[in-house]
Amino acid sequence: METDCIFCKIVKGEIPSTFLYENDNLVVFRDINPHAPVHLLIVPKRHIRSVNDLTEDDAKIVSEMIMTAKMMAEKESVSKSGYKLLFNVEKGGGQVIFHLHLHLIGGWKK
| Phi then psi dihedrals of residue 5, to 5 deg | -80, 125
Respond yes or no: is residue 39 known to be catalytic: no
Residues 6+ apart with CB under 8 A from 61: 25, 26, 44, 46, 48
Active-site choice (35, 47, 99, 101):
101
- Amino acid present at 69: A
* Residues annotated catalytic, as ranges: 101
